[in-house]
Structure 1
């Protein structure tokens, strides 16, 4: 049972252990070291990603089965998920990608949204962690979107058509077109990559910063000594409650933004300028 670190960053970086904050002694919290499997060290973020994936595999099929059984959904739980599913379809995918042709991308967009959402929310559970607060996780998600964008564009217009069409029409004299086209091609490809880098950084920065702020406010209680302990503790707990509610909103917001931008990028690939 390793001792707690008092650095706020220790609560938002990855660890090769699981923490059980409710089983603790006076100077430590119970931690369970995670094993190595085939030479790969399991970490807290890996565990939360698996939990998020399992939640999706359990909840979403049950919700879909329930929706198919009854024309009118009953119960707040099914209604909540049906609302989110329809929102991603009608307010994100179809407007951004275009019409019913967007429906073939819905499985990816739904998976992306709920995976990010569940990971964001798990970061608010004591002892859990938000894997989306790690740049490696968000980079892989952005890389998946980049692959979907490129493959969707090449499938729609052909390999050559997609890469040639990435450059807008140049209304310049013929002798200027070759060098300008080459320059514009490099700029457009760089822009394509940069958009997805920003996609990864935006999600990472928002989730990481939010948890750092929560950890810092909680750290005020540890640092408070003497007669100021109780006023500091009360103010810190009140601030944590308010910020946790804000973080819950941010969890939904960031999942929506990442999914919306992914749909927008896919739409720009299948319907180029």
Structure 2
């Protein structure tokens, strides 16, 4: 009962303070929940932290971490900070002018009008998602180098600290994912990739739940690259039996191969495509639901609505913690299954 009362008090306090975090509305503008959601789940050339509104003037102030913009243009490599777009909507570098429109950088004239019929620059910028991915890589390196050194110092001793947390997960991936799906003969070859895949996706899923965090695993480009790696690994690991089942399915009459071969070839691509969509859709859906619930408070402009909304958001965040682990597990499991199908020996 005491815990329930504490939870209700915290929910009430959050409900009272939620209106202070509405990124607009005090200057007469109507709150746009779709714009708020897109702002949080889409990639950006800066890392937005918080927005405040001046009570006297109603002017919004945005606090962000600028990120480097790297462009390849007809004039060569162009590098500058994204903060320059805050000082002027048109950034001039050399003989060219650049504008930022919906997170896309275009060549423009001196007045800021997009130039048509010209070759637009290639954008290799360190965006919010890229910065988040680099942070996750650093986190993983720190964690696993720490665990490696702990094993070296505590050889033949019981695991302790991070060791005791990660060892069951590593053994689970080896014994419950790699071994059953790939087999004893080949699992050691693919286990490092499966471990990297699992922890990389899991850590980035968790980073997306941190306030102001990037929605990396909810980005279709990221999930497409991860699924493409699985596709390439499966295709190049395929043995004679694997390709034989695709182009000459055993037990199928030869006239039916005209139908079966295209179906099997399409299946090679639909499997990783399903991986791509599953991870993208589940992570994006969770973030969208949470932000939509918070947006209800500002749409109805009722602070008391913050109490039930906070409870729902708290429940959704707990669910998202589980989904972050589940989606990393599913992606790794299906990758191991596809690899196992490619390397399986023909027993007929």
Report the TM-score when normalising by structure 2.
Answer: 0.69
C-alpha contact (below 8 Å) 1:14/1:44 kept by paired residues: yes
Work out the CA distance in 1 between the residues paired with 2:202 and 2:252: 45
Q: Which residue of 1 aligns with 2:160?
A: 74
After TM superposition, give the deviation of residue 128 of structure 1 in Å. Answer: 1.1
After TM superposition, give the deviation of residue 47 of structure 1 in Å. Answer: 1.0
> Are 2:320 and 1:247 equivalent residues in the alignment?
yes
Match of 2:251 among 170, 179, 182: 170
SS in 2 for 1:85: helix
Work out the CA distance in 1 between the residues paired with 2:298 and 2:252: 65
Cα displacement string for residues 7-57 of structure 1 (whole angstroms, at most 9, x for unaligned residues): 222211111110223x74554441233221243232111111111111111
Match of 1:30 among 59, 63, 83: 63
Q: Which residue of 1 aligns with 2:289?
A: 213
Q: Which residue of 1 aligns with 2:338?
A: 265
C-alpha contact (below 8 Å) 2:220/2:280 kept by paired residues: yes
Q: Cα RMSD over matched residues?
A: 2.0
After TM superposition, give the deviation of residue 184 of structure 1 in Å. Answer: 1.8
Relative to 1, partners in 2 of residues 1:193 and 1:170: Cα closer, same or farther, differing over 3 Å? same
After TM superposition, give the deviation of residue 237 of structure 1 in Å. Answer: 1.8
C-alpha contact (below 8 Å) 2:129/2:214 kept by paired residues: yes
| Segment drifting more, 108-117 vs 59-68 | 59-68
| Segment drifting more, 78-87 vs 192-201 | 78-87
Q: Which residue of 2 aligns with 1:19?
A: 48
SS in 1 for 2:183: helix
C-alpha contact (below 8 Å) 2:242/2:341 kept by paired residues: no
Q: Which residue of 2 aligns with 1:102?
A: 187
> Are 2:167 and 1:86 equivalent residues in the alignment?
no
Q: Which residue of 1 aligns with 2:232?
A: 147
SS in 2 for 1:131: coil
C-alpha contact (below 8 Å) 2:45/2:69 kept by paired residues: no
Gaps in structure 2 of 5+ consecutive residues: 1-22, 25-31, 55-59, 73-123
Pick the structure with more strand per residue.
2
C-alpha contact (below 8 Å) 1:63/1:82 kept by paired residues: no
Instruction: With a CA cutoff of 8 Å and minimum separation of 6, indicate the structure with the bigger relative contact order.
Output: 1
Relative to 1, partners in 2 of residues 1:189 and 1:217: Cα closer, same or farther, differing over 3 Å? same
Cα displacement string for residues 195-222 of structure 1 (whole angstroms, at most 9, x for unaligned residues): 1101100000000000000111111222
SS in 2 for 1:133: coil
C-alpha contact (below 8 Å) 1:35/1:42 kept by paired residues: yes
Match of 1:48 among 128, 132, 137: 132
After TM superposition, give the deviation of residue 140 of structure 1 in Å. Answer: 0.6
Answer with 1 or 2: which has the greater Rg. Answer: 2
Relative to 1, partners in 2 of residues 1:153 and 1:215: Cα closer, same or farther, differing over 3 Å? same
Q: Which residue of 1 aligns with 2:215?
A: 130
Q: Which residue of 2 aligns with 1:193?
A: 269
After TM superposition, give the deviation of residue 254 of structure 1 in Å. Answer: 0.1
Q: Which residue of 1 aligns with 2:305?
A: 232
C-alpha contact (below 8 Å) 1:217/1:236 kept by paired residues: yes
Cα displacement string for residues 176-198 of structure 1 (whole angstroms, at most 9, x for unaligned residues): x1x43343222111011101101
> Are 2:178 and 1:60 equivalent residues in the alignment?
no
| Segment drifting more, 132-141 vs 41-50 | 41-50
SS in 2 for 1:198: helix
Work out the CA distance in 2 between the residues paired with 1:25 and 1:123: 26
SS in 2 for 1:19: strand
